[in-house]
Structure 1
C-alpha cells in the first residue's frame, strides 16, 4: 500500500530507542527523510547510524523541557532537511510514581514538564510551517493510562490525559489548515522504559523478568487479552498510518494499540 508520503520531511522526538526509533524506521521505509531527536547524553547518533541504510536520517540532541533547545531542534531540522511535514512526539518518561500522598511537587512538575509541556513546545515550534504549506501531520503518543488511570502512576496518567486533550484541541484549531492532529495510546509495550519497570518488579518479587511480566499482565493488565507485551513496531505501524495520506480524513482521533487493555467503549 502506498502511503503517499514519499519525500515528506518527518521529525520524531524521543527516537533513540523504542516506539520513536521504530516509527523513524517505518517512515524511512515509506520514503520520508527523517530527523530523529532525543535528550543529550543518549544514543541518538548511534540510532541514526543504524537507520541510515534505509534513507536520509539526521540526529539532533534536544531536551524537550528546554524551549530554546526545542526551537533550535526544529530550526536545524528545517535547515538540513526542509520544514517538517510530519511531527511525531514520542518523548516521555514514566516520571514520579508511588503513593499519591508521597509524590512531591517536584515529581509532578518534572513528569508534566516532559510529557505534556514537552509536546506543547514541540507542536508550537513545528506547526506554523505546516500551516504555511497547508499540509501537516502531528501524532502525539499518549497511553491507555490517560483514560484508565493507575493509582501508583497518577502524575504519568494526568500528563497523558493532558496529551489527549491537547491533540483534540489542536485538531480543531489547525484542521482547517490541513494540519491533522491525532494521538496513539499504547499499553505495556516492550521498550527500554517498561524493561526497567519489569526489572524493578523482578527484584522486588525475587523472580525472573519473564515471571515479573507474566504476573504484571495477570494482576495489573487483565484486559490485555493477547497476554503479552506489545512490540514497538506494532505501535509504529499505527503512527505511520496516521501520518499518511491514507488517513487524510482522520483528525482529532485517539487510536488505541493496547490489546484491549482499556475496558470501556468511552475515552
Structure 2
C-alpha cells in the first residue's frame, strides 16, 4: 500500500529509541523527510540506511526549545512540518499514592508527559493549519483508560492526552489537521526493559522470567502472551500519518495485545 508520504516533512519527538525510532524508520522508508527531536542522540546512525534523518536537540519541557526546533526544521527542509508524531515521554513518579509520590513527582511527570505534549501541539499546529493539511499522532497508553495504582501520575497524563486528542480533533479537523492517538501496552522498549531488569534483580530471576511473571501477575489481559514490538506500533502510526487515513480523526488506536478489557475508547 502506498501511504502517500513521499517528500512529506515529518517530525518525530523521542525518535532516538523505542517506538519513536521505529516510527522514524518506517516514515523514512516511505520516502518522508524526517526530523527527530530529542534531548540527546545515541542511536540514530543506523537510520541513515533508510534516508537522511535530521537530528534536532530539544527538551519538551521548554517551549523556547520546542519553538527553536520548529524553526530549525523549516530552515533545514525549506518548509514547515506536515506530520508530527509525539512519542517523547517518561515513566515518571511511581509508587504508593499516599506514601511515595509527592507534589514534585506529580508535577515533573505532568510537565513532561502532558505539558510537553501541549507544547509540541501548540508549536506545530499553526503551520499545519496554514497549509490546510496535517497529521498529528500523539502517543498514549493503555493506562489512559485502565488504572494501575502504582502509576497514577502517568495514567493521569495519558488520560489527559486522550482528552486532548479529541479536543484538538474537534478544533482543527476543519482546517485539515487530523489528530489521533495510538495507545500501546507493554511494548519492548528501553522503558520496559528497565522495568524488567529491576524486577529481575529484585526477585533473583532471569529477564525472561521477569517478563513472563509480569505478564501473568500484572497484565493478564494481554491475550497474545508477550510484549509488543515497536514496529507493530510504528505501522499503525504510519497509517495514521498517511493519505489512507483521511477519514480517521479524533480516534484512539490500541496496539495492546488485547490488554484493555473495556469496549469503550
TM normalised by structure 1 equals 0.97
1:124 aligns to what? 122
Are residues 1:150 and 2:148 paired?
A: yes
1:162 match = 160
Gaps of 5+ in 2: none
Aligned mates of 1:99, 1:30 — CA distance in 2: 44
Structure 1 stretches of 4+ moved >2 Å: none
Match of 1:98 in 2: 95
Query: Partner residue of 2:38?
Result: 38
CA shift, 1:191, in A, is 0.3
Partner of 2:180 in structure 1? 182
In 1, Cα distance between equivalents of 2:251 and 2:263: 14
- 2:80 corresponds to 1:83: yes
1:265 aligns with 2:232: no
Measure the CA separation in 1 of the matches of 2:58 and 2:206: 35
Aligned length: 263
User: C-alpha deviations, 1:143-165, integer Å up to 9, x for none?
Assistant: 00010010000000001001101
Match of residue 69 from structure 1: 65
Provide structure 1 residue ranges, at least 5 long, that are not aligned to the other structure: none
Alpha-carbon distance, 1:99 to partner = 0.2
User: Is 1:24 the equivalent of 2:20?
Assistant: no
Give 1:56 shift.
2.6
3-state SS of paired residue (2:75): helix
TM-score by length of 2: 0.98
Q: Spell out the pairing of 1:178-257 with structure 2 (5 A cutoff).
A: 178-257=176-255
